[in-house]
Homo-oligomer: A and B are copies of this chain.
Amino acid sequence: MADIATRVYNHKWKIDPIVRSLIDTDFYKLLMCQSVFRNRPRTNVTFSLINRSHSVRLADLVDEGELREQLDHIRSLGLSRGESTFLRGNTFYGKRQMFRPDFMEWFEGLRLPPYHLEKRDGQYELTFEGAWPEVMLWEIPALSVLMELRSRAVLKTLGRFELQVLYARAMTKLWEKIERLRQIEGLRIADFGTRRRHSFLWQDWCVQAMIEGLGESFIGTSNCLIAMRREVEAIGTNAHELPMVYSALARDDAELARAPYQVLADWHEEHDGNLRIILPDTYGTEGFLQRAPDWLTTWTGIRIDSGDPVQGAETAIRWWQERGEDPRKKLVIFSDGLDVNRIEELSSRFRGRVKVSFGWGTMFTNDFRGLVPGDALAPFSLVCKAVSADGRPTVKLSDNPNKAMGPPDEVERYKRVFGVGHQQAQEVLV
């Protein structure tokens, strides 16, 4: 029997909102937001959406009116009482009151700032400008909205049973991956797929399938809302955004060279244990580690997010050994371009040498490759990045030149300051 009232209520919605909560975002955005709120609250930043997959012409696929409705809806969202209670009361990484009362009070009153939207060459130019702690929270919802509107656009023409079979195939595909992951001894893996997900409901399904299928090996999700609803750990530490903005604000080369360490010094003050994870690749992993102060070697681990992951992990192990640390007590988190083959390969390569965990993203929450004609649901490479801070451009080098960002002259300056030489290019799939 249908619940008539529910049905009527559903029909009253003007739109079917994609993002329905301010905590439908990556947990580390909230951790970073609190750090920024304390240390750099008045920095003015611009975030910009960049589609690295030019062949996916988003502005042709997605109706501008629909996009605006979704973005406007996000601007209407405020933290609910239950969400606030969760953030204030939950244990994150073994710690109560991770979020300080002054931050929570600010967050409870927050509405996301305006956006600027234009069409150009079949793409959307979507930018956000304003105070860093506010603007930074646009990143994940902006990506989720565009990813899901693209999915909806492609799915529009499918029949009811075609749709059901499409999801049946996607479920089967994921389950087969889970069955393979189950074979990996000592696996520790988390969902990092919010930003590139096929849709919210699909991510939620994937997480629940992992909970049942992997048990203790599934350590949690980066999605704060799903972590709350499914009662699993919220996972995440920090991202490139921090060193990029700190570096852009540097007044000279000397300050620039110190900036990435200043980020971690601020972080060090705020967090301990598993939240102390170094993300070393923003301006080249090798140089970053060579010049790192000794207190960084006491951190819990390193996240490898670009370049050849084997080389990245070997570099980290060597660095710990050189600084007198036992790598077997350290954690390496792999989070770049993962799928099951690579997870298997990295697990077996580093077993016993270092603790390993995986942040599985796009190929976890958006592997619809090969499921519709023309592969129109294949994941694509959409990012939303800080492009300037207080009027100065940001730069990212990473360990893969194809992931580099920023004006060419600034890229050259950063390469010089951080001593980055030739880099091996790797294809950026997702």
Listed in ascending order, the chain A residues whose CB lies under 8 Å from chain B are 1-3, 5-6, 9, 159-162, 164-165, 167-169, 171-172, 175, 208-209, 212-213
Contacts and interface: CB of A to CB of B under 8 A. Distances in A.
Contacts of A209: 161, 164-165
A403 to B, nearest CB: 34
Nearest to A163: B212
Contacts of A172: 165, 168-169, 172
B171 A213 contact: no
Contacts of A3: 1-3, 6
Contact of A168 (B159, B167, B208, B213): B167
Contacts of A171: 164-165, 168
Q: Which of A159, A168, A209, A213 has the most chain B CB atoms inside 10 A of its CB?
A: A168
A3 B4 CA distance: 9
B212 A159 contact: yes
Contacts of A165: 171-172, 175, 209
A219 to B, nearest CB: 18
A215 to B, nearest CB: 10
Q: 5 closest A-B pairs (Cβ-Cβ)?
A: A168-B168, A3-B3, A165-B175, A168-B171, A161-B212
A112 B208 CA distance: 45
A169 B169 CA distance: 7
A209 B159 CA distance: 10
Contact of A162 (B1, B9, B167, B212): B212
Given A1-B3, A6-B1, A168 B175 contact: yes
A153 to B, nearest CB: 21
Contact of A169 (B1, B168, B212): B168
Contacts of A1: 3, 5-6, 9
A213 B212 CA distance: 32
A8 to B, nearest CB: 11
Contacts of A213: 159, 161-162
30 contacts: A1-B3, A1-B5, A1-B6, A2-B3, A3-B3, A3-B6, A159-B212, A159-B213, A160-B212, A161-B175, A161-B208, A161-B209, A161-B212, A161-B213, A162-B175, A162-B212, A162-B213, A164-B171, A164-B209, A165-B171, A165-B172, A165-B175, A165-B209, A167-B168, A168-B168, A168-B169, A168-B172, A168-B175, A169-B172, A172-B172
Nearest to A208: B161
A162 B210 CA distance: 11
A3 B6 CA distance: 9
Nearest to A165: B175
A3, A9, A165, most chain B CB atoms within 10 A: A165
A275 to B, nearest CB: 30
A155 to B, nearest CB: 15
A158 B5 CA distance: 34
Contacts of A159: 212-213
A93 B169 CA distance: 37
A172 B167 CA distance: 9
Contacts of A175: 161-162, 165, 168
A385 to B, nearest CB: 35
A168 B209 CA distance: 13
A163 to B, nearest CB: 10
A162 B178 CA distance: 11
A208 B169 CA distance: 18
